[in-house]
């Protein structure tokens, strides 16, 4: 079997805790609650459970099968790091849609990038591993897949 790191499952096939993490994320996203503590209390899970799974469970947008991805990054404040990261995205035939970057603090810059992966020229897993291992990437999280 292919050792893919990403799969799509029906909510009926996963433990209820994953669904509750998704519910808590939605409550935070739509502004029902401002903080994680209140959101997890509302859905009936602990904060530790939420943080354990929040970066690993994502809803699939209605009618979409992974055409766009949004990632958040912590990048070293070195010349060419962001440029090379964007070049890697382009080399995989993905199209950058938005970029937001904060001013570096203590040598680390926070960035958020949304890009189209509908014409990707590798597997999704290969793309993510390549981006995570790019020079200057300190941390990378998938925020959303639509």
The residues spanned by each domain of the chain are: 11-53, 68-145
Q: pLDDT (tens digit, 9 = 90+) per residue, 88-122?
A: 999 999 999 999 999 999 999 999 999 999 888 88
Per-residue pLDDT band at 65 (split at 50, 70, 90): low
| DSSP per-residue string spanning 3-46 | --S-----GGGS-HHHHHHHHHHHHHHTTS-SSHHHHHHHHT--
d(CA 98, CA 53): 26
68-145 classified as CATH 3.30.70.260? yes
**pLDDT of residue 79 exceeding 50:** yes
pTM (global) more than 0.85: no
Strand-pair partners of 7: none
**pLDDT of residue 62 exceeding 50:** no
């Amino acid at each position: 079997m292919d050792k893919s790191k990403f799969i799509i499952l029906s909510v009926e096939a996963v433990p209820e805790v994953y669904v509750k993490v998704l519910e808590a994320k939605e409550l935070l996203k739509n502004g029902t609650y401002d903080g994680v503590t209140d959101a997890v209390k509302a859905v009936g899970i602990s904060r530790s459970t939420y943080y354990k799974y929040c970066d690993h469970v994502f809803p699939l947008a209605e009618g979409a099968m992974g055409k766009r991805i949004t990632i958040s990054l912590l990048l070293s404040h070195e010349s060419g790091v962001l440029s090379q990261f964007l070049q890697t995205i382009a080399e995989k035939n993905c199209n950058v849609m938005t970029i937001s970057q904060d001013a570096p603090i203590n040598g680390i810059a926070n960035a958020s990038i949304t890009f189209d992966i509908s014409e990707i020229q590798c597997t999704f897993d290969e793309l993510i591993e390549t981006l995570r291992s790019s020079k200057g990437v300190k941390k990378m999280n998938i925020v959303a897949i639509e």
